[in-house]
Structure 1
Amino acid sequence: MADGPGALADLLTNPRADRVKAVRALAQRSVRDRAGRFLVEGPQAVREAVTGAAPVHDVYLTPAAADRYPEIAQGAGTRLRLASPEVVDAMSADAQGVVAVVDQLAASLGAVLDGAPRLVALLAHVRDPGNAGTVIRAADAAGADAVLLSAASVDVHNPKLVRSTAGSLFHVPVVEGLDLAAAVDALRTAGLAVLAADGTGEHDLDDLLDVAGAAPDGLPDLARPTAWLFGNEAWGLRDEDRALADAAVRVPIRGRAESLNLATAATVCLYASGRAHRAPRG
């Protein structure tokens, strides 16, 4: 068993204990909202939580997981609780021997804008937790400064969303519950161009990338600070939401695919902006 803080703690062995039930109940939004905490499952996400600045409350590891992931056990410190595999499995079927309880994250749009962001993803009515989590992961990978979700979008503390971010939820500020029109106005006032990703958009993403940094009048310049607006998985952007943007941009499809799913299109758009923002190497 791994040495370090918590290594000698009593092993939790009763999968029907109240503590175990309380952790498992965090899968429900009403419980999360009352407790102000959420569930983080699996070694990758928990590692990012304990080694970053996340407000971790408790970390549960099986003895085998404590040996296999010493960085998690050490990062957990006095918050580490050793538990039998049966206990951890009762807490979460997706734990892989590692579960954490974390205080809910509380980023704000004001704080994001105070940081002079150059790249932001704004999700309008995105309701599938796997899609939203993958966009957060892609935004993190592309170097985005924040991900914003409209009030009609999925709860960012949904367990499936948290898992699908693979820890990126703890790297990039994520703000939820926003009024879409007000958020767009705030982004524009802060100097960001707002581009709607839309399969029928009037501008081709490749064409914009070709002229980034020297776009002629009338064309969006991807080298500018940009907020990308992405719509719902099933119906895309509603007309009134698309009208909020400065321009609509389509991702070119050169093969026979009918369309791209939300997460893939978001990844392509965010990376295009990341490329346009990158200083030339020389």
Structure 2
Amino acid sequence: MTINTDTVKILHRIVARPASDGAGVKIKRVTPSGDYAVMDPFLMLDEIRSEDGNDYAAGFPSHPHRGFETITYMRQGQLEHQDHMGNRGIISSGGAQWMTAGRGVIHSEMPLQKDGAFHGFQLWLNLPAAEKMRAAEYHNLEPDDIPIVQQGQHRIHVLGGSLNLGAEQIQGAIQDRTTLPQLWDVELNDAVPLTFSLKPELTTLLFLYEGSMRIGNETLSGQQLVSIQHEGQVTLSTQGQAKILVLAGKPLKEPIVQYGPFVMNTREQINDAIQAYQAGTLTA
């Protein structure tokens, strides 16, 4: 895959690293290693991909969150969500969930299969300081809720925001967020370029999870994320096939303090979250 280099410049590059989370689930994790400004307003991206149930079947038993949003997207397999509010949703292949932890959520995410192909992503999206203690919110997105755009041989899943292709605008399922998040899963299937528009003031991230990408004289392979600078348009092309997550959002430029499942602005707020969880009042 190549990107038009006339108006696009790589600012940062992050390689996904092997990690473990939940009850021992094997993942690949993209995190900015403390310099959150690189991905702002995004905090972290995890990819789960295996055909061996030993890598994922134990899942993510009940655990808390406060101060941000999670977007979970399944390309293949089934994952069940349950939370303290009584929500229950099954994320099937092509579906997603969008959860706003806000003041507090206690939930679990458990695979509904013991073996076989399982492939998905979870993205952490920060909340502005004024919204960190807002009420929790949950949206289960069925595959039919997520628009799929066919552009020639290319396919684009519009999970959030608005995709602008020339004069055409495709609205994703989730819109009303202060951070203006754009989240698209792009499948490039031939050499014809794909050009889309994005506001240049948004942080723009490209996560290549299959295939290879060439940017100017640089070549990227799978499981790498780059942040880019552009002037409002990005052109992608490939000689074969490639798959990439396109993420964009309005940077918050606020202090970030993270401790495990809590993301706040100060250490005192983190301590409050820990004490509230221990006292059973996190979700009160």
Shorter-chain TM-score range: under 0.3
More strand per residue: 1 or 2?
Answer: 2
Higher relative contact order (CA 8 A, sep 6+): 2
TM normalised by structure 2 equals: 0.23
TM normalised by structure 1 equals: 0.23
More helix per residue: 1 or 2?
Answer: 1
Larger Cα-atom Rg: 1
